[in-house]
């Protein structure tokens, strides 16, 4: 399965995303249900309030992503302990844009 991951722009400077790549490649944690996946896109939300995540998710789907994954920095607040206050709106807007046939995974690790 090919996935596109959306991460928090606020945490880009403190998190290189290596754990996201590792758990995706091994099929661990959030990817236990899917097994190992190929990351075909790794983008930020574009900054608060995350409006760019919608068009970026659509672009990844148009280029072959079968699932959109919200990195744990957005949904759980890893590593800074502060989840995105815009997460629910961002997720719902992405679902509306990409359609119900695209799997949404709400965390990574």
Reported as a single tens digit per residue, the pLDDT across 22-78 is: 999 999 999 999 999 999 999 999 999 999 999 999 999 999 999 999 999 999 998
Predicted structure pTM score: 0.95
Q: How many domains does the structure of the chain reveal?
A: 1
Query: Which CATH number belongs to the domain containing residue 99 in this structure?
Result: 3.40.50
Q: With cut-offs at 50, 70 and 90, classify the pLDDT of residue 80.
A: confident
Check residue 38 and give its pLDDT: 98
Give residue for tokens 């606020």: 10
Structural domain harbouring 48: 2-105
Q: Establish how many alpha carbons lie within 13 A of residue 28's alpha carbon, considering only the half-sphere containing its beta carbon.
A: 8
Angle, in degrees to the nearest 10, between helices 87-98 and 52-62: 30
């Amino acid at each position: 399965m090919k996935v596109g991951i959306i991460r928090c722009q606020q945490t880009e400077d403190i998190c290189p995303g290596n754990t996201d790549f590792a758990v995706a490649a091994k099929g661990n944690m959030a990817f236990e249900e899917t097994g190992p996946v190929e990351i075909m896109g790794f983008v930020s939300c574009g900054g608060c309030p995350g409006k760019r995540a919608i068009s970026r998710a659509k672009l990844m789907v148009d280029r072959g992503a079968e699932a959109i994954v919200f990195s744990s920095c957005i949904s759980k607040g890893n590593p800074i302990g502060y989840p995105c206050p815009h997460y629910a709106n961002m997720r719902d807007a992405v679902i509306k844009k990409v359609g119900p046939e695209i799997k949404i995974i709400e965390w990574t690790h």
